[in-house]
Amino acid sequence: MEDEFAIQSFKPALSTNLTLQKKLLPIFKYREQLLYAIETFQVTLIHGHTGCGKTTQLPQYLYETGWTKDGKIIGCTQPRRLVARSVAARVSEELTTEVGKTCGYKIQFEHNISDETRIEYMTDGTLLKEILTDPLLERYSVIIIDEVHERTINIDLLLGILKRILIKRRDLRVILASASANIQKLNDFFYEKDKIETKSISIEGKLFPVDVMYLENPTENYVNTAIETVLNINSSYPSGDILVFLTDRREIEECVKRIESSAVTTPDDLPMLVPLPLHSGLTLDEQLRVFEIYENRFRKVIFSTNIAEASVTIDGIVYVVDCGFCKQRIFNPYSRVSKLIRIPISKSNAVQRMGRAGRTNSGKCFRLFPKTIYDSLKDESDAEISHSDLLPAVFFLKAIGLRNIYQFPFYIPPPTVHIIAALEDLYFLGAIDDYSNLTDPTGLQMVELPLDARLSKALLSSASYDCTYAMLNIVSVMMAGDVFYRPSSNQYEATACHATFTTEEGDILTGLNVFESFLNRRTDMKWCKANFLNYNTLSHASEIRKHILPYLQRFHISPEKRIRDIDPSKMIECLLQGFFRNVAHLQDDGSYRTILGSPVLVDHKSTLINKGIPWIMFTSMVEYEGRAFINGVSKIESKWLEKFYHRKNKK
DNA sequence: GAGCACTGC
């Protein structure tokens, strides 16, 4: 189970007999075999498709057979928060209890568990954090890592850590659940003669057959080919919705426009195509439009990014059109800049995309490339750990006491330069010392805070700038996301409303201004709507704020009260303690260059665009099609930089 | 002048 909108899609089924329904799931036939394997082997690897029941049923089987009798817990991790929450709700319904009793969930800044909870769903990041206080995971009798094939950094770290723990805790059981057929490698990683015994089990899914079709020759332009394919499906194939995988927002918007304009020439006897965009840049309401049901004379065609590959599941898709590419963020450890590039998908991506057509009925998948290209694709995508900023991962490994990062049993060892870059950054943030040990108290406190390391650093520095109250609000709203909401239909009015919150110091204090107005208004939803502010982001920010406050009290830097007359620029100077690398200087021609000399463009949504501020700090930078865009821009004074960038001849 | 895959503690 990995459905983002799981609660909605489960609703109709609940009216039928729940016990019978559980027995109809493919996993039910494997119940005894699975329980025997888990009893006998320390590690069980399960290969099973989405919908086979592994996520909801397995913890219940273990609970029924006494794996929690001694007071221990069955833990099950998920890559996504929404799934952890909705699966806990589903399982609680099957157990006819409330969420938080026998079965509960815990995700960052939110949990619903109690002393009687025996099945805990959580995100993989939550389990990692728990290892800092419970290094052998002694609260648990069984750990299930779900969606192992997604190979996020968190999953890779958990695999290595669990391998270490298994040798010390012979009673612990680990179950790895994957939708990828290739679980042999995982098996080889865990198996150690006379130490760790492993067992693999494959569950036959209940997927419907999907016919795959290829192009005879490669296409020069897959956007054109996608449009042609959609029109062709509409005129030649029976009813059923279409899902088209593209790589980014621009391609999606182009396709939506072209299908809209094709409507004029659509013959009357053909269904009317309803083009719908789906990507993370849309608001929740805009995203939910893809779930609307249309009459028979219409046919939905959803143009989507990778978001529909695993995060969002739409029922009723009969045709999938796959362009064969996706976007990937590649971190450059030398410049510390991430680049967003288009790369060919892997075979396992292609299979996952194809499967989106076979969920409720048989379907068809049109791959916009020849079969020979498919055969040449990699089996699996590169693991995230091989091309990402490893600062959080290395910080975590330092926190669990690794002197040498390479002592860690990596499933795949990350490149050395990435590790060195992360160590260097941690050193300059003051989180580790000359011997590469966590500093006390800064490093220890930073790793404990549930924040980005740079934000942790700024928050912990705030006492010396007398701005802890403001910095608490700033980091809370920065963690929560974009506070401004710009509906495509009403952009002009939205921008005008947003302008009333603008401060001359830039984007960060503008965000603070919005958040503090929100708190003063006692989190008024109507007020948010009227001002085009994102209510969900702002209430999430106040949840985050509530959760960080106790840490500050424990560290004895709690904000006593708001200091009214504090100079706003103090806050930016404090933030610079974490973001001192992210500085740019105005050039004579009005453009900006970073302190390393590379040109950057201020995002057009920034409040400081075209303001001609000599020195600026930014909180994020992404390179796209050869240009680097910066976000979260604030005005700074060059003299604030002196302590970070000493002149060479300075005595 | 426009301009950014997806997650998460």
Confidence grade of residue A10 (pLDDT, cut at 50, 70, 90): very low
From the Cβ of A409, is strand B under 7 Å away?
no
**Residue whose CA is minimally distant from B1 C1':** A604
The spacing between the Cα labelled CA in A299 and the C1' in B9, in angstroms, equals 41
Given a cut of 80, whether residue A557 has pLDDT beyond it is: yes
CA distance readout (Å), A405 to A129, A163, A400, A415: 18, 16, 11, 12
From the Cβ of A392, is strand B under 7 Å away?
yes
Mean local confidence (pLDDT), A186-204: 91
**Residue whose CA is minimally distant from B9 C1':** A450
Q: Which nucleotide is nearest to A452 (CA to C1')?
A: B9
CA A391, CA A33: separation in Å to the nearest integer? 41
The spacing between the Cα labelled CA in A453 and the C1' in B8, in angstroms, equals 14
Query: Which helix (H) or strand (E) covers residue A111, if one does?
Result: strand A110-112
- Cα A288 to its chain centre, rounded Å, is 19
CA A110, CA A642: separation in Å to the nearest integer? 41
Selected from 3.30.70.360, 3.30.1950.10, 3.40.718.10, 3.40.50.300, the CATH number assigned to the domain covering A210-385 reads 3.40.50.300
From the Cβ of A513, is strand B under 7 Å away?
no
Given a cut of 60, whether residue A11 has pLDDT beyond it is: no
Which pair of structure tokens corresponds to residue A48? 């099973």
CA A10, CA A496: separation in Å to the nearest integer? 41
Taking alpha carbons only, the member of A31, A23, A18 closest to residue A59 is: A31
**Residue whose CA is minimally distant from B5 C1':** A327
From the Cβ of A452, is strand B under 7 Å away?
yes
Note the pLDDT tens digit of each residue in A502-551: 999 999 999 999 999 999 988 788 999 899 999 989 999 999 999 999 99
Phi, psi of A594 (to 5 degrees): -70, 170
pLDDT of residue A205: 73
The spacing between the Cα labelled CA in A637 and the C1' in B2, in angstroms, equals 29
Do A558 and A468 meet the contact criterion of CB atoms below 8 Å apart? Answer: yes
Confidence grade of residue A25 (pLDDT, cut at 50, 70, 90): confident
From the Cβ of A108, is strand B under 7 Å away?
yes
Q: Which nucleotide is nearest to A125 (CA to C1')?
A: B9
Do A329 and A388 meet the contact criterion of CB atoms below 8 Å apart? Answer: yes
- Rg of the Cα atoms in chain A: 26
CA A358, CA A352: separation in Å to the nearest integer? 10
For residue A364, give every residue at least 6 positions away whose Cβ sits within 8 Å of its Cβ, in sequence order, or none. A210, A211, A212, A213, A237, A318, A319, A320, A357
From the Cβ of A329, is strand B under 7 Å away?
yes
Note the pLDDT tens digit of each residue in A365-403: 999 999 999 999 999 999 999 999 999 999 999 999 999
DSSP bridge pairs for A317: A241
Q: Which of A137-146, A261-270, A287-296 has the highest mean pLDDT?
A: A137-146
Q: Which nucleotide is nearest to A127 (CA to C1')?
A: B9
pLDDT of residue A643: 79
Given a cut of 80, whether residue A569 has pLDDT beyond it is: yes
Do A616 and A633 meet the contact criterion of CB atoms below 8 Å apart? Answer: yes
pLDDT of residue A284: 82
pLDDT of residue A153: 96
Confidence grade of residue A5 (pLDDT, cut at 50, 70, 90): very low
pLDDT of residue A130: 95
Domain boundaries, chain A: 6-203, 210-385, 449-651
For residue A433, give every residue at least 6 positions away whose Cβ sits within 8 Å of its Cβ, in sequence order, or none. A427, A439, A443
Q: What percent of chain A has pLDDT over 70?
A: 96
pLDDT of residue A440: 93
Given a cut of 60, whether residue A7 has pLDDT beyond it is: no
Q: Which of A49-58, A324-333, A590-599 has the lowest mean pLDDT?
A: A49-58
Do A55 and A87 meet the contact criterion of CB atoms below 8 Å apart? Answer: yes
pLDDT of residue A296: 87
CA A572, CA A372: separation in Å to the nearest integer? 54
pLDDT of residue A1: 37
DSSP state of A513: H
Same CATH topology for A6-203 and A210-385: the answer is: yes
CA A478, CA A483: separation in Å to the nearest integer? 9
Note the pLDDT tens digit of each residue in A445-480: 999 999 999 999 999 999 989 899 999 999 999 999
From the Cβ of A604, is strand B under 7 Å away?
yes
Note the pLDDT tens digit of each residue in A65-85: 999 999 999 999 999 999 999
pLDDT of residue A358: 78
CATH architecture assigned to A6-203: 3-Layer(aba) Sandwich (3.40)
The spacing between the Cα labelled CA in A239 and the C1' in B9, in angstroms, equals 44
**Residue in the structure block whose two tokens are 């106040």:** A542
CA A94, CA A253: separation in Å to the nearest integer? 42
Q: Which nucleotide is nearest to A329 (CA to C1')?
A: B5
The spacing between the Cα labelled CA in A249 and the C1' in B5, in angstroms, equals 9
Mean local confidence (pLDDT), A195-205: 90
CA distance readout (Å), A463 to A433, A477, A570: 22, 19, 11
Query: Which helix (H) or strand (E) covers residue A628, if one does?
Result: strand A627-631
pLDDT of residue A522: 81
Which pair of structure tokens corresponds to residue A425? 């950054």
The spacing between the Cα labelled CA in A125 and the C1' in B8, in angstroms, equals 6
Report CA torsion sign: A588, A593, A597, A599: negative
From the Cβ of A631, is strand B under 7 Å away?
yes
Q: Which nucleotide is nearest to A83 (CA to C1')?
A: B7
Cβ neighbours of A116 (radius 10 Å): 11
**Residue in the structure block whose two tokens are 């970073």:** A594
Note the pLDDT tens digit of each residue in A416-443: 999 999 999 999 999 999 999 999 999 9
Q: What percent of chain A has pLDDT over 90?
A: 75
pLDDT of residue A206: 67
pLDDT of residue A650: 46
For residue A272, give every residue at least 6 positions away whose Cβ sits within 8 Å of its Cβ, in sequence order, or none. A263, A266, A297, A298, A299
pLDDT of residue A281: 87
CA A242, CA A233: separation in Å to the nearest integer? 9
pLDDT of residue A15: 46
Give residue numbers, 58 to 87 of A, with CB < 7 Å from strand B.
Answer: 79-82
Mean local confidence (pLDDT), A631-641: 93
Confidence grade of residue A565 (pLDDT, cut at 50, 70, 90): low
Q: Which nucleotide is nearest to A451 (CA to C1')?
A: B9
Chain B positions with any atom < 7 A from a protein CB: 2-9
Write a three-state SS string for A349-365.
HHHHHHHCCCCCCCEEE
DSSP state of A195: T
From the Cβ of A281, is strand B under 7 Å away?
yes
Q: Are strands A298-304 and A272-278 parallel, antiparallel or unpaired?
A: parallel
From the Cβ of A153, is strand B under 7 Å away?
no
Asked if omega into A550 is within 30° of 0 (cis), the reply is: no
Mean pLDDT of the residues in chain A: 90
CA angle A512, A581, A612 (to 5 degrees): 65
